[in-house]
């Protein structure tokens, strides 16, 4: 049973050290996202609808990966996160940013500057990901949790509803912050099949909280070519730290093991698709160094050379050895995002006046938690983000069957093949950690 993933982004906005004023925000009913049918190819979404957003998401995914790789204690450890979830949560936040604050967020997240391109792009992606398929489960959801006495601008609320499909709920953050926290956490648990619990830790929501923005993504599917559990054997995996650990190594070495495969002088790459009927083609793409230096894969991420090499992948027989692994990650992204180029959003000089017409809001913390498990049947993954705001190559000859032996560190991602959206991304440095 393959489950992949939930991802959840939460933005918590708090006002300054003064009591909120103005009339209570009017309750807004959720607006469903209109269904947009791809217009080109059997599994291809027009670049004009999503191209700018997908390209930006890919750049952000690679940039954030490198930033996490250079951040202690992430350096040399397993990495796993959802760029789509974080990007979506920050996109809804960006819709309320103005001036230099908006410029910095847009630059770091690589959002299209044109409102129509950005909003239509996210709308199309969200609609597509929510298209039903009998072979797998894939869905995404957004919500705004607003302090019931705080006067948010109707235009901001309307944008979140219309283009991001966000449901809006009024909360009593001032009088019942702990109860509000528990309510939001239950929503996250429901959206992620209980894979992410307590995304917002105790004490994070206070009487100064004004808005929480949540995004969740969930995927569950099976490999097209599952591994036989009887063939899984103990094997050595050379870790990123230079030692060896014992892992359960899955294998497909039969003649039916035909995968999309490619390689360069120092990399092998393998695509393992998930079952589907009429929905988007989803797959795991693995970048395996030919040597033990994970930098060979990491340095290639986001480059034209790698994109060109991946484009030349061909379906062929491959002897695949792949480890079972399960691990969790927790990140505080505040310093990471500052260093990536958006410090204003975390300062009292932030301008989120597009949300409320004032300059009282700023981001105080960004937390991301994720989980991934890979076994013979498929993949399960989950992730959650909380943004807290407050104030005051050439083909191989067919006779040579390549061996893809993932017994040393590698990079992987889970992508939507129809749009190219990177849903999840990670590094396996030690599958037993």
In a domain, 374, yes or no: yes
Question: Which residue range is the domain that position 48 belongs to?
Answer: 4-221+326-390
In a domain, 283, yes or no: yes
Check pLDDT > 50 for residue 46: no
Do 296 and 166 reside in the same domain of the chain?
no
As for how many domains the chain has, the answer is 2
Closest CA to 261 of 320, 319, 313: 313
CA distance linking residue 379 with residue 373, whole number of Å: 6
DSSP assignment of 368-414 equals: EEEEEEE-SSEEEEEEEEEEEEE---PPPPTTS--EEE--S-EEEEE
Instruction: Copy the structure tokens of residue 331.
Output: 């990140």
**In the predicted model, what is the mean pLDDT of residues 385-393?**
64
- The total number of residues written for the chain in this structure: 433
CA distance linking residue 163 with residue 33, whole number of Å: 7
Task: For 164-221, write each residue's pLDDT tens digit.
Answer: 999 999 999 999 999 999 999 999 889 888 888 888 889 888 888 888 888 888 888 8
Do 79 and 27 reside in the same domain of the chain?
yes
Do 34 and 166 reside in the same domain of the chain?
yes
Do 64 and 54 reside in the same domain of the chain?
yes
* Contacting residues for 39 by C-beta, under 8 A, at least 6 apart: 46
Do 410 and 346 reside in the same domain of the chain?
no
What pLDDT was estimated at residue 383? 81
In a domain, 348, yes or no: yes
> Where is average pLDDT lowest: 45-59, 159-173, 390-404?
390-404
Do 193 and 210 reside in the same domain of the chain?
yes
Q: How many CB atoms lie within 10 A of CB 202?
A: 11
In a domain, 77, yes or no: yes
Do 173 and 293 reside in the same domain of the chain?
no
Do 114 and 186 reside in the same domain of the chain?
yes
In a domain, 433, yes or no: no
Do 267 and 212 reside in the same domain of the chain?
no
Residue 397's region, left for phi above 0, alpha for psi from -120 to 50, else beta, is: beta
Do 315 and 371 reside in the same domain of the chain?
no
Task: For 49-81, write each residue's pLDDT tens digit.
Answer: 788 999 999 999 999 999 998 876 666 789 999
Tokens 């209109």 correspond to 34
pLDDT-above-70 percentage for the chain: 85
User: Do 386 and 185 meet the contact criterion of CB atoms below 8 Å apart?
Assistant: no
What is the 8-class DSSP label of residue 307? H
Query: Residue 413 is part of a domain; what is its CATH number?
Result: 2.30.39.10
- CA 11 from chain center: how many Å? 15
What is the 8-class DSSP label of residue 100? H
Task: For 277-323, write each residue's pLDDT tens digit.
Answer: 988 899 999 999 999 999 999 999 988 988 899 999 999 999 999 99
Do 153 and 9 reside in the same domain of the chain?
yes
CA distance linking residue 317 with residue 326, whole number of Å: 27
Return mean pLDDT, the chain.
84
What pLDDT was estimated at residue 3? 39
Do 61 and 158 reside in the same domain of the chain?
yes
Instruction: Copy the structure tokens of residue 264.
Output: 């360069």
Query: Residue 164 is part of a domain; what is its CATH number?
Result: 3.30.497.10
What pLDDT was estimated at residue 332? 85
């Amino acid at each position: 049973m393959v489950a992949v993933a939930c991802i959840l982004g939460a933005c918590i906005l708090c006002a300054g050290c003064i009591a909120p004023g103005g009339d209570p925000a009017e309750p807004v009913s959720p607006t469903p996202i209109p269904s947009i049918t791809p217009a080109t190819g059997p599994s291809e979404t027009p670049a004009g609808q999503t191209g700018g957003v997908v390209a930006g998401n890919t750049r952000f995914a690679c940039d954030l990966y490198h930033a996490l790789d250079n951040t202690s204690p992430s350096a040399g450890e397993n990495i796993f996160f959802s760029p789509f979830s974080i990007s979506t949560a920050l996109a809804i936040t960006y819709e309320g940013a103005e001036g230099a604050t908006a410029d910095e967020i847009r630059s770091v997240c690589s959002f299209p500057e044109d409102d129509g391109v950005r909003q239509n792009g996210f709308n199309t992606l969200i609609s597509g990901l929510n298209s039903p398929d009998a072979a797998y489960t894939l869905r995404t959801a957004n919500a705004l949790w607003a302090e019931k006495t705080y006067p948010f601008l109707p235009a901001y609320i309307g944008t979140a509803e219309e283009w991001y499909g966000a449901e809006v709920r009024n909360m009593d953050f001032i009088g019942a912050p702990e109860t509000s926290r528990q309510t939001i956490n239950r929503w996250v648990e429901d959206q992620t099949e209980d894979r992410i619990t307590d995304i917002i830790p105790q004490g994070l929501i206070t009487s100064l909280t004004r808005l929480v923005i949540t995004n969740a993504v969930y995927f569950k599917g099976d490999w097209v070519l599952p591994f036989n559990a009887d063939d899984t054997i103990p094997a050595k995996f050379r870790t990123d730290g230079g030692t060896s650990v014992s892992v359960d190594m899955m294998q497909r070495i039969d003649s039916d093991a035909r995968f999309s495969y490619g390689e360069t002088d120092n990399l092998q790459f393998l695509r393992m698709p998930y079952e589907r009927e009429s929905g988007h083609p989803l797959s795991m793409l693995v970048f395996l160094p030919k040597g033990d230096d994970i930098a060979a894969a990491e340095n290639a991420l986001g480059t034209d050379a790698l994109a060109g090499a991946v484009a030349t992948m061909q379906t062929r027989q491959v002897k695949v050895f792949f480890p079972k692994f399960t691990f969790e990650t927790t990140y505080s992204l505040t310093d990471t995002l500052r260093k990536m180029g958006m410090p204003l959003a975390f300062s009292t000089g932030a301008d989120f006046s597009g949300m409320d017409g004032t300059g009282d809001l700023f981001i105080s913390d960004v937390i991301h938690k994720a989980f991934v498990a890979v076994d013979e049947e498929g993949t399960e993954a989950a992730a959650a983000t909380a943004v807290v705001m407050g104030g005051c190559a050439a083909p191989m000859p067919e006779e040579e069957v390549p061996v893809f032996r993932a017994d040393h560190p590698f990079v992987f991602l889970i992508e939507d093949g129809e749009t190219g959206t990177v849903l999840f991304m990670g590094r396996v440095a030690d599958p037993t950690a």
